[in-house]
Amino acid sequence: MAKNDTKKRDGREGNGATIGYEAQLWQMADALRGSMDAAEYKHVVLGLIFLKYISDAFEEQHARLEAERDQGADPEDPDEYRAVNIFWVPPEARWAHLKAQARQSTIGQLVDDAMAGIERDNPALKGVLPKDYARPALDKQRLGQLIDMISDIKVGDEASRTKDVLGRVYEYFLSQFASREGKKGGEFYTPRCVVKLLVEMLEPYRGRVYDPCCGSSGMFVQSVEFIRAHANGNGNGGKAKADISIYGQESNYTTWRLAKMNLAIRGIDGQIAHGDTFHNDRFPDLKADFILANPPFNVSDWGGERLRIDARWQYGVPPAGNANFAWVQHIVHHLAPAGVAGFVLANGSMSSNQSGEGEIRKNLIEADLVDCMVALPGQLFYSTQIPACLWFLARDRSSSTTGAAKAAPGGKFRDRRGEILFIDARKLGRMVDRTHRELTDEDIARIATTYHAWRGEKEAGGYADVPGFCKSATLEEIRKHGHVLTPGRYVGAEAVEDDGEPFEEKMKRLVAQLREQQAEALRLDAAIAANLKELGF
């Protein structure tokens, strides 16, 4: 995240005199990490923050029920909490109890018991919470200090939930851990700006939303935030309930737990399954209206040699040494008749001809499934320096009427068959520290509005090709390029402003300038040679 950005953004500030709330909390927590590996410490910290969240929400409701005892309310009745979508917290898991024992040597076991008690009494969290705080390798003094630190923040009361305080803290911590873990951390965290761009382009207002490699559930969180934000813009106070059904799958068990917790802290219901998407598809019959995903790039050990015959490979058998086009075809397989998909892939997917990948890409294009391609700037991801792009697919490009289209004026998009929109966004974004870039809200709006205008959404205005940025190419043009989907091949060069100087005059001036520089270079060479001669060289 933008530690070095001194402009205020998303409620945070950079490393100026004041830093944001999330950054302050991160600095305190990181100081307590000591020599513990970031991958290990992540679950220690996020588990405690989650526990504080549900305890805050519980305590607020408990106080409310306590005040209503004379009206028959029972503060110790679990149903009083479940009725208002608040997790029941048993006595041994309440934060006040843990805080009182934070300096005791038994604090690790007490936290484990608290996690076990919450899972026991809340089936939706079964198998999700970390329960290894008692292990000898975890410094109990530091654990106690961490509990004391977290005790000073409110994250789960109603005011904090309205502002999504914990959601912001959680996301900030995920991004910081991803930055420190490098490739390993990036497996579960997709930068917020990339997720936001996918969501803004697809506009998942209603229907079934699916992510076959959901990581920490960022796609779902952003989808719900998008709906709430647009409801707010329509004067509904942001309280409209998201009319979407969420389906996700994640193969990494610890990441699956993060996904479940990330949805739970936002009060989002979703079916998040654990398992290998290729070899144990947990939603084999699902046809989704929207698919958003960030599959791991160029995976070579996906077990493709055991899946040479599969119903999903309608456009060609993906190579056993690279899962990119296995992900693409899995996504196509799960699209509803009018479904749309947006996902991240390595740039190689746009042009590779190795092991039959070019033939699969050609078949997808000729089947009229590819709607839009976006080339992304570098350095967006914590996990890799591999350049990335966005693919957008649509089952029905004649006048797709699912999801966002139903909410759009007229209820339909224009007929886009035989065309693909190419957007070259490589020059967009800003550096937020020495190694990471992010797309600004203005960048996201520019890309999304271009796509919406091209699709024919009336509120987005008219579409026009912009040299160096976007181009609506015909299928015939794409065939001439060998079915390569790299935007740079189509958008051309950015238009150069005419400075008003006549060409002949400019050439004379530039040639004269060049000759002056050449003469100066010769003079400097002679001076250097003379100096070296004086020194005896």
291-347 tens-digit pLDDT: 999 998 889 999 999 999 999 999 999 999 999 999 999 999 999 999 999 999 999
Q: Which of 215, 275, 259 is nearest to 124 (CA)?
A: 259
How far apart are the C-alpha atoms of 326 and 357, rounded to whole Å? 10
420's enclosing H/E stretch is: strand 419-424
Domain pair 21-177 / 182-491, same fold: no
Rg (CA), the chain: 27
Range 484-487, long-range pairs (CB < 8 A, 24+ positions)? 484/350, 484/351, 485/350, 485/351, 485/361, 485/365, 485/370, 485/373, 485/420, 485/422, 486/347, 486/350, 486/351, 486/373, 486/375, 487/373, 487/374, 487/375, 487/389, 487/422, 487/423, 487/424
With contact defined as beta carbons under 8 Å apart, do 240 and 192 qualify? no
How far apart are the C-alpha atoms of 279 and 224, rounded to whole Å? 29
Q: What is the DSSP string of 288-313?
A: EEEEEE-PPTT-S-S-GGG-SS-TT-
pLDDT in tens, the chain (537 residues): 333 332 323 333 333 333 456 776 777 777 777 767 766 777 788 889 889 988 988 999 999 999 999 999 999 999 999 888 889 999 999 999 999 999 999 999 999 999 999 999 998 898 889 998 999 988 899 899 989 988 887 766 676 665 556 666 766 776 777 666 655 444 556 788 899 999 999 999 889 999 999 988 888 888 888 887 776 544 443 444 558 899 999 998 878 888 888 888 777 888 999 999 999 999 999 999 999 999 988 899 999 999 999 999 999 999 999 999 999 999 999 999 999 999 999 999 999 999 999 999 999 999 999 999 999 999 887 656 778 999 999 999 997 554 444 444 445 789 999 999 999 999 999 998 787 889 999 999 999 999 999 999 988 999 999 999 999 999 999 999 999 999 999 999 876 666 677 878 878 888 888 898 999 889 998 889 888 888 887
- Point out which residues pair with 244 in neighbouring strands: 207
**Sign, CA torsion 370/313/211/409:** positive
How far apart are the C-alpha atoms of 177 and 188, rounded to whole Å? 10
How far apart are the C-alpha atoms of 176 and 522, rounded to whole Å? 52
The whole-number pLDDT of residue 231 equals 62
How far apart are the C-alpha atoms of 324 and 295, rounded to whole Å? 8
With contact defined as beta carbons under 8 Å apart, do 193 and 439 qualify? yes
472's enclosing H/E stretch is: strand 470-474
Coil, strand or helix at 249: strand
With contact defined as beta carbons under 8 Å apart, do 453 and 460 qualify? yes
Structure tokens, 29: 């927590």
What is the residue type of 493? A
Cα–Cα distances in Å, from 529 out to 493, 518, 522, 534, 536? 43, 17, 11, 9, 11
Q: What is the DSSP string of 256-286?
A: HHHHHHHHHTTT---EEEES-TTTS-S-TT-
Say which residues have a Cβ less than 8 Å from residue 374's Cβ, sequence separation at least 6.
Answer: 197, 389, 390, 392, 423, 425, 447, 487
The whole-number pLDDT of residue 470 equals 98
Q: CA 272 from chain center: how many Å?
A: 17
231's enclosing H/E stretch is: helix 218-231
Burial classification of residue 106, based on how many CB atoms lie within 10 Å of its CB (0-12 exposed, 13-18 middle, 19 or more buried): exposed
373's enclosing H/E stretch is: strand 370-375
Could you say which architecture CATH assigns to the domain 21-177? Up-down Bundle (1.20)
The whole-number pLDDT of residue 272 equals 94
How far apart are the C-alpha atoms of 154 and 14, rounded to whole Å? 22
The whole-number pLDDT of residue 163 equals 57
Say which residues have a Cβ less than 8 Å from residue 435's Cβ, sequence separation at least 6.
Answer: 379
Q: CA 152 from chain center: how many Å?
A: 29
Q: How many angstroms separate the first and last alpha carbons of the chain?
A: 53
Cα–Cα distances in Å, from 320 out to 44, 309, 324, 380, 389? 37, 12, 10, 28, 22
The whole-number pLDDT of residue 443 equals 97
Domain boundaries, the chain: 21-177, 182-491
Parallel, antiparallel or unpaired: strands 388-394 and 370-375: antiparallel
Residue 513's CB: how many other CB atoms inside 10 A? 10
Burial classification of residue 191, based on how many CB atoms lie within 10 Å of its CB (0-12 exposed, 13-18 middle, 19 or more buried): buried
Could you say which architecture CATH assigns to the domain 182-491? 3-Layer(aba) Sandwich (3.40)
Say which residues have a Cβ less than 8 Å from residue 321's Cβ, sequence separation at least 6.
Answer: 300, 304, 355
With contact defined as beta carbons under 8 Å apart, do 217 and 195 qualify? no
For 474-529, give the secondary structure using H, E and C: EHHHHHHCCCCCCCHHHHCCCCCCCCCCCHHHHHHHHHHHHHHHHHHHHHHHHHHH
Cα–Cα distances in Å, from 495 out to 69, 187, 309, 473, 491? 72, 39, 49, 18, 11
